[in-house]
């Protein structure tokens, strides 16, 4: 079942949209915006010449450049750079931003981004921070695809006093990309994402690292027998290192707070194992099933067993028998 986007809009939402940073997220936005006709002109800006060349080859934008001056004349600029780079990029953009322009971003941390970016914006430029909660473990301009944001949530965290019309236009942009849009404070965003995204990534990176370092179990054994659960962790532990380093450094307090909570609960569980308290384990394991059901029924996940992973088939065997029934059929 191919994924599809809606038809192009009757009229563009913006005249000139500049995407700064053409990684997974930036290149997905520009693909979707082009398909949907959300701008008269789409500008791709990346400091990496190789990325700009690739954007030209893929024909993703109307203009592609390494120069931040490319934002000149834009009425919408989206920073799609690592969280730690937002301040420097905003500062360098300042001379090229005109009054009436809306600046946004896609960072996974919002408090720090607001603090970094807002001081650099000239009078008359609105800042509407955004975080599309979507992604894959792949990086770079080739990894993007236009339906990445479809049926995902995009969180806006406009600071107090942000122009309402600017918020509405950013909301319309993300709605056009297929996202559900929610507005909350940057502080609350950072707490919510600490538990739903940052700590899971930290734990995944950590468990993969611990497994690699064991002296009693070889790395080849870890890889061979990963289907027992471990491999689920490795997907998110393959995400972009620069992006995630910045997330942890810039959402330090919330991450450490949530990690502390997690550690308390792990200690309790370890004690239950040590003392053979099976009922406590059973109760927790039953409770967690309900949350999984909630995630599936909300459309944020597929119910296919094993995520519907397809296993390799040996061609010589595959040719001789008919298809197996689907699980549960």
Q: Is 15 a residue that touches a copy of itself (CB under 8 A)?
A: no
Residues in the chain: 329
DSSP at 180: E
Strands 130-132 and 63-65: unpaired
Q: Is 228 in the site for a copy of itself (CB under 8 A)?
A: yes
Nearest approach, Cβ of residue 287 and a copy of itself (Å) = 6
Tell whether residue 30 is a contact of a copy of itself (CB under 8 A): no
Q: How far is the CB of 59 from a copy of itself (least distance, A)?
A: 12
> Which residues inside 128-187 make contact with a copy of itself, applying CB under 8 A?
133-138, 142-147, 150-153, 155, 178, 182
DSSP per-residue codes, 209-235: HHHHH-SSS-HHHHHHTGGGTHHHHHH
Residue 122 sits in the site that holds a copy of itself (CB under 8 A)? no
226 sits near a copy of itself (criterion: CB under 8 A): yes
The distance of closest approach from Cβ of residue 40 to a copy of itself in the complex, given in angstroms and rounded to an integer, is 20
Which DSSP category does 41 fall into?
E
Q: What is the largest CA-CA distance in the chain?
A: 71
CB of 191 to a copy of itself, least distance (A): 6
Q: Taking the alpha carbons of 260, 261, 264, 266 in that order, is the dihedral positive or negative?
A: negative
Shortest separation between residue 71's beta carbon and a copy of itself, angstroms: 27
Residues numbered 36 to 95 that lie near a copy of itself (CB under 8 A) are none
The sheet with strand 102-105 has its strands ordered as 63-65, 39-45, 14-20, 76-79, 102-105, 126-127
Instruction: Show contacts with a copy of itself in window 269-328 (CB under 8 A).
Output: 269-270, 273-274, 276, 278, 281-282, 284-289, 291-295, 298-302, 305-314, 317-318, 320-328
For 209, 235, 249, 251, 318, the CA distances from 113, given in Å and listed in that order, are 29, 26, 12, 10, 52
161 or 327, CB closer to a copy of itself?
327
Tokens of residue 301, six digits:
């996940």
């Amino acid at each position: 079942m191919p994924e599809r986007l809606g038809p192009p809009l009757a009229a563009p939402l913006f005249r000139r949209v500049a995407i700064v940073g053409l990684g997974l997220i930036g290149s997905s936005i520009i693909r979707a915006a082009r398909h949907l006709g959300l701008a008269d002109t789409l500008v791709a800006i990346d400091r990496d010449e190789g990325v700009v060349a690739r954007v030209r080859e893929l024909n993703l934008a109307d203009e592609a450049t390494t120069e931040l001056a490319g934002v000149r004349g834009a009425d919408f600029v989206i920073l799609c750079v690592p969280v730690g780079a937002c301040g420097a990029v905003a500062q360098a953009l300042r001379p090229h931003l005109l009054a009436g322009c809306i600046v946004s971003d896609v960072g996974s941390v919002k408090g720090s981004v607001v603090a970094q970016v807002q001081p650099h914006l000239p009078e008359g430029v609105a800042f509407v921070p955004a975080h599309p909660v979507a992604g894959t473990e792949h990086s770079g301009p080739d990894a993007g695809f236009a339906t990445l944001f479809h049926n995902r949530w995009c969180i806006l965290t406009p600071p107090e006093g942000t122009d309402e019309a600017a918020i509405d236009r950013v909301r319309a942009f993300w709605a056009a990309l297929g996202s559900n849009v929610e507005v909350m404070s940057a502080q609350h965003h950072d707490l919510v994402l600490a538990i739903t995204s940052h700590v899971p990534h930290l734990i995944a990176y950590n468990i993969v690292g611990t497994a690699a370092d064991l002296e009693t179990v070889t790395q080849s054994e870890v890889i061979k027998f990963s289907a027992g659960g471990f491999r689920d962790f490795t997907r998110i532990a393959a995400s972009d290192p620069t992006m995630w380093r910045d997330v942890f450094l810039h959402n330090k307090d919330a991450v450490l707070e949530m990690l502390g909570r997690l550690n308390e609960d792990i200690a309790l569980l370890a004690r239950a194992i040590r003392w053979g308290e099976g009922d406590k384990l059973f109760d927790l394991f039953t409770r967690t099933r309900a949350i999984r059901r909630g995630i599936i029924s909300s459309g944020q996940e597929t119910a296919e067993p094993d995520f519907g992973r397809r296993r390799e088939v040996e061609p010589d065997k595959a040719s001789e028998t008919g298809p197996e029934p689907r699980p549960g059929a």
